[in-house]
Chains A and B, each alone.
Chain A
Amino acid sequence: MIGTKGTVEAVNGNMVSVRFDGPVSMNEVGFVKVADKQLKSEVIRIRGDISQLQVFEVTKGIAVGDTVEYTGDMLSVEVGPGLLGQVYDGLQNPLPKLTAVAGMFLERGIYLDPLPSDVAWEFTPVAKVGDTVERADTLGTVPEAAFTHRIMVPFGLYGTYTVVSIKGPGSYKLRDTIAELKDEKGNTVPVSLSFRWPVKRPIDCFVERFKPTEPMVTRVRLIDTFFPVARGGTYCIPGPFGAGKTVLQQITSQNADVDIVILAACGERAGEVVETLKEFPELKDPKTGHSLMERTIIICNTSSMPVASREASVYTGVTLAEYYRQMGLNVLLLADSTSRWAQAMREMSGRLEEIPGEEAFPAYLESTIASFYERAGTVRLRDGNVGSVTIGGTVSPAGGNFEEPVTQATLKVVGAFHGLSRERSDARKFPAIHPLDSWSKYKGIINAEKVSYAHGFMRRGSEVEQMMKVVGEEGTSIEDYVIYLKGELIDSVYFQQNSFDAVDAAVSPERQKHSFALLLKIMATLFSFPDKNEARSWFNRLRQKFLDYNGSEWQNDKFKALEKEIESTVAEQSKGLDKAAEKILAL
């Protein structure tokens, strides 16, 4: 097929105006030829016979009169076996392979096949000749890492098809035809192990979308116990720079209880991305014992990569997530940071000279953010299996001001909000998620009434603290002071976690339930102290034991001994249980 051609009329930054001579569609990909290079671009506006293309590369060297070739395809990703373990840029270029071709630096105009075409996959057919199939139906399977990768009817084949031929069990390469399908008009379509799908169109080959109910355990106490995330749900982590978003995401990506994790970095620091790139292959997946990288895909767009590629990266990430969901798997997409993505949108909108909205963001900011998060969900597939895509996005508002447009637009559409606070991170409290500002609409691993009872101490403790700022410690009753100390205890031994400590960095749900029960009992216990100094020093001692307890291996001797010590320390000072709490403890 001969595509439409065009010539460059104007260059302004990374936008090129091109006069074209045939049909051109919106979001179509075109290549601008400059010297010996072809620069990938996307059509973002068409007026008469001029199309405007956003070039995904540096535009230096382009001249008026240079040729442009349109491809006829929207910006798409290739899906098929071999995606797991890959490190891509936002345009699905495999970065490690790029090294072999381009060397050390990110030379422009070099595009490689996203999937290895020379690897042989062990194919087992599922469908038979004569079967009637629809898009996303399974034709066969190949093993990929620890998963059974389904070879499906390409999602772009709308209507019903009959299987005309299908290969028997054996090894096949990516581009080998493994089946032929006949449509209702009698046309035959060959199917191979992979196909392409446009990133900006959600994959919708499912029967039903459910309300997310099952918790997605992250092993962060503050999240799992207090502000849980659900599989198939959405959550956001806004916070100023330096408040700990990155560390939190790294911990989540390693510990989240899902099958596959996709990290989409849009405009992040190379120095931090490299940590993930180098560490993941070294880390072991606690579930399989294999490298964590075998269940991970990294979309890595550092801040110095071209803006349009950064804009594309979250879509590339979510499309791959949806693809694996079609296999009945649970996938987590972590987008870091959606503010950089929104900023890329703003930059492109400015270049198009669109009328700017609030803070110069484009008017369609909210709807774009909403439709991105709406691509999450738990769904029932045509074969009855259930899969999910969970989306967690970080937001980086200026100065941590959550009133700004990106945070606000995100808050409208997510199910949980983990707001990071500058004060908490300044005081080196990790995670710096604010326990009073954050919320979640999902069900967690612990009874909600118990959680709410414990949370009450944090809330009331903070009220007492505020009051003390007005009337002083001397003007506070000892009862209120003890509530304040209880709140402080929850904060320091449960909300906070030591991310450097091998044991405390990631806590299993069983252990969370166990130590939460212990803490809840302390909350419910009535204490009496002669004065505030005694109270403070007793709580200091208790905190010390609890911190050592948090750092001991689950259920080893030291752990058990420290637990006994905590219990006896509490018993020494106990004046019985709060009557109101007895009911809650019994739940």
Chain B
Amino acid sequence: MYLADRRGTTAPASAASAPGTGPGRRAAAVPATVLALGAVSLITDVSSEMVSAVLPLYLLTGLGLSPLGFGVLDGINNGVGALVRLVGGHLADRGRGGHKTVAAVGYGLSALCKPLLLLAHTVPVIGAVLAVDRTGKGLRTAPRDAMISLATEPEHRGRAFGVHRAMDTAGALIGPLVAFGVLRLAVDGYDAVFAVSGCVAALGVLVLLLFVPGRARATAPATAAVSLRDAFALLRLPRLRRLTLCAVLLGLTTVSDSFLYLLLQRRLGLSTHLFPLLALGTAAAFLLLAVPLGALADRIGRRLLFLAGHGVLLLAYGLLLGPASGGAVALCVLLLHGAFYACTDGVLAAAAADAAPAEQRGAGLALVGTGQALARFACSLVFGALWSAVGGPSALGWFAGALALCVAGAFLVLREPAGDRAPDPSEMAL
């Protein structure tokens, strides 16, 4: 856990590791901080996916409510969540308590929401509870990723983020199983699901508090009061600016999961019974590929793999648009879709960590993440409108073309003489 205690380039650990050891070298195991944060995410995802899995059932059969009204809220929550992430990243860099405190507040907020669901019985109140839950998620994301990046040697960040994302996804897969297990034991036991979910979430917060090291220095440096303007001034850093630009550009052409599954289901005439399995397939592929592809990113360059990931997504679009059909095609699309996430999700965070100075790591990660999230939100709106106008497959055709252009554009933008394999020490010191 000592690795987490270093900050920036001042600690001895980084001096020992940086230039001499080649990036390809097998290093020590993943830092304990990363494993601890992975465990926190795993536990928290078990908790939140338990709720997600039974919420429709609860609303309809438990409360007798029509849940259609939630659609609008969902959109608003997404936008707010992205902005909260910026705030979370900034507060984490600035605050005295550092990343751990902000992350703990974020995890804590979401944990509080689970027992609150026991008391909420009307659509607006449930909507409000879910909004608070989303706020907690927005707050914790950037500081958590900052802690992962700060705890890991720069040349192993891809793998570290891969391990974290794999653990996170494992939690998401376990959650629904636990929820339906509870409902097996207790018919209509939604209150029991929420109570268990709350206990699991509390455990996640506790693991964070106990096993994730906080900021090493007792007091923040005198100059550490980073202002919000400084957070946006991060965009003056060429590498971070270019990365954000590419994340936005590619986010604008990344068709959201639900649209993709809907197209897959319609294209292949799959029974809608299988609909939940589609997301499961993507998650399983993501889970299996996150670590190896994260390690690959460390070897060949994170930005390169990030771009390659979008190439993989393009392949998935192509398969969906192609003439072939059947279960094998569905499997391939899901495998490619999972591989896309494995090539991009943690890898983008690793690349952003390379480009953001340690003092503003949270804000830097949030900037890239928020840019991507807002771009994807905009993409959903445009894709939905285009779907209405020309139909789903044609819309996907247009987006496949646009994605190809954006990948090419991003390739040009991200191309740097030095590459991103060995980070420039002068930039690291920022």
Specify whether A and B are partners: no
